[in-house]
Amino acid sequence: MSLRSLMASLRPTQWLKNLFLFAALIFSQNLLVFSKSFRVFYAFVLFCLLASSVYLINDLFDIREDRKHPLKSKRPLPSGQLSRSGALFLAISLGALSLGLSFRLHPQFGLVALIYLVSNFAYSIYLKHVVILDVMLVAFGFVLRAVAGAVVIEAEISSWLLVCTTLIALFLALSKRRHELSVLVENSSGHRKVLGEYSHYFLDQMIAVVTASTLMSYTLYTLSPEVADKFGTTNLIFTVPFVLYGIFRYLYLVHQQDQGGSPTWVLLTDKPLLVDIFLWFLAVWLILYQ
C-alpha cells in the first residue's frame, strides 16, 4: 500500500466540509482572538481525523456497491489498493485518537464528536437506505460541525446558525443525490438501493423548496433585530447577493454542467464560485470586524 493510496483513502478534499466549524467563530466576532481561533483550528483538525475514520467505515460497508460505480470504483478500498483489514485498523485508530483528544479539548465538543461518529455509523449500517432520512442525516452532520465549532469556544448556539446550516446542507445533499441519479442512470438502485426511491422530478422539487428556504432564512437573519443589536449594524444585508449568486451558480453547475457529485470538488475547482465565496467572506469581514 503506497502513501498516496493511504492519503486518498482518508479523502482530504472532503475535509473542506469541516470549515463549518469556523461559522460560530466568525459570527461571534472572535476570529481575531488568538486563543479561540487556535481552539477552533485544533477542533477542525480533530474533526478531519474523525471524518476520515467515518469515510473508511462507510467505504467498508459500501465496498461491493462502490466496485460497480464508475468513479467510486477507483477509490483505494474498492480498487484493492487498500485491504479491508488495513482500512478497519486505520478507521478504528483514527476514530479512537480523535475522539479521545476531542473530550480532552472540551467535554461538550467531545460529546458532539461522539454523536457525529455514532450517527454516521448508523447511517452506514442502515439509515442511508431510508429515503429522505438519508439526506437529512447527511445535513445533520453539517449541523454537528457548526455546533462543535460553537461549543469549543463556548459561544452561543444561535437558532439562525442551526437553521441556515441545516438548509444549506440539505441543498448540497439533495444536489449530490441528483448527480448520482444522473451518473448511474438505469443502474442507480443497483448501486445504492435508496436511489430507486428518488427521481429527477422529486429531487428537483425538494431542491427548489430548500433553495428558497435557504435564501429566505439567510436574508431574514441579516434583517433580524437581534442580529442588528448584536453587531450594531444592519449592513449584513449586503452579503445576500453573494449568497444568491453562490446558490444560483451551484444550481447551474448541477443542472447544466452535470456536476454536484462532490460539493467539495466543485468548491475547489469552480473559479466563479471561489471568487464569490471570497467576496462574501470579505464583505462579512468588513462589516463585522472593521
206-229 residue pLDDT tens: 999 999 999 999 999 999 998 888
For helices 133-151 and 159-184, angle between their N-to-C axes, nearest 10 degrees: 140
Say yes or no to pLDDT of 71 above 70.
no
Domain ranges for the chain: 1-157, 158-290
**Is residue 226 a contact partner of residue 161, using CB atoms and an 8 Å limit?**
no
CA–CA dist 194, 188 (Å, integer): 9
pTM of the model as a whole: 0.88
CB 150 within 8 A of CB 40: no
- Asked if 18 and 48 count as a contact pair (C-beta separation under 8 A), the reply is yes
Residues 91-137: tens digit of each pLDDT: 899 999 999 999 999 999 999 999 999 999 898 888 888 999 999 99
Which CATH number applies to 1-157?
Answer: 1.10.357.140
Contact between residue 210 and residue 176 where contact means Cβ atoms under 8 Å apart: no
For residues 73 and 66, the answer to whether their CB atoms sit within 8 Å is yes
Provide the CA 153 distance to its chain's centre, in angstroms.
20
**pLDDT higher than 80, residue 73:** no
Q: Which residue has the cell 466568525?
A: 26
